[in-house]
Chain A
């Protein structure tokens, strides 16, 4: 099946530093999504990307849909303590209604921010 390789697995940074994480896939995706999960909660959508090459920002977060449609990255600028959590990438490849219309997740990046 489809697999997403998300890296790094974990990051330990100082408050104020910038962060970058990425996902790569062996297959093409039509949609890339980035989620954050706080302890004891479900994942919450941060950014959605729909077109190859698209660059989208949400506050201090910026994500890009790779032009090959097989990768995406997420940047967080000027990190703060509340950025702590697990960040997941997810990709969707199939046409709506088809059997491949499922969301595949990376294994997550655990971010720790030291104040």
Chain B
């Protein structure tokens, strides 16, 4: 059971480049989310999804897009990378309450540097 898998683990981008951070889970969780973690700021929610075809914005959505075409995958797209997007990105998934325990499980993170 792989849990939540994020790729890549490390990435360096030039300002203006675009890229997609991948997140996949094999637990059949309905809820998936993306966070960024910056020193002293804790984990801030970027986007989340409560099921395939449904996404919504979190606290810091600007500069990021998401889609949820399948239950398993929830990619995060950086449209035009900026140095302010240098951060560690975490994907998390969980059941919705009626389906099971709602605790969130995290991937190991993607460390992104934008130069």
Residues of A that sit less than 8 Å from B by CB: 1, 6, 31, 33, 35, 40-45, 48, 88, 90, 92, 95-99, 101-108
Q: What sequence of 0s and 1s flags, for each residue 30-63 of chain B, a beta carbon within 8 Å of any chain A beta carbon?
A: 0101010000111111001011000010110000
Chain B residues near A (Cβ < 8 Å): 4, 31, 33, 35, 40-45, 48, 50-51, 56, 58-59, 90, 92, 94, 96-99, 101-109
- Interchain CB contact under 8 A, A96 and B50: yes
A96 to chain B, nearest CB (A): 4
Residues of A within 8 A of B99 (CB): 96
Closest 3 CB pairs of A and B: A42-B106, A107-B42, A96-B96
Chosen A-B contacts, 14 in total, with CB atoms closer than 8 Å, are A1-B59, A41-B108, A43-B43, A43-B90, A43-B106, A45-B105, A48-B102, A96-B102, A101-B31, A101-B48, A102-B56, A103-B92, A103-B94, A105-B42
A98 to B41, CA, bound (A): 26
Contact of B42 among A40, A88, A95 (CB under 8 A): A88
Name the one of A35, A42, A97 contacting B96, with C-beta atoms under 8 angstroms: A97
Give every chain B residue within 8 A of A98 (Cβ-Cβ).
50
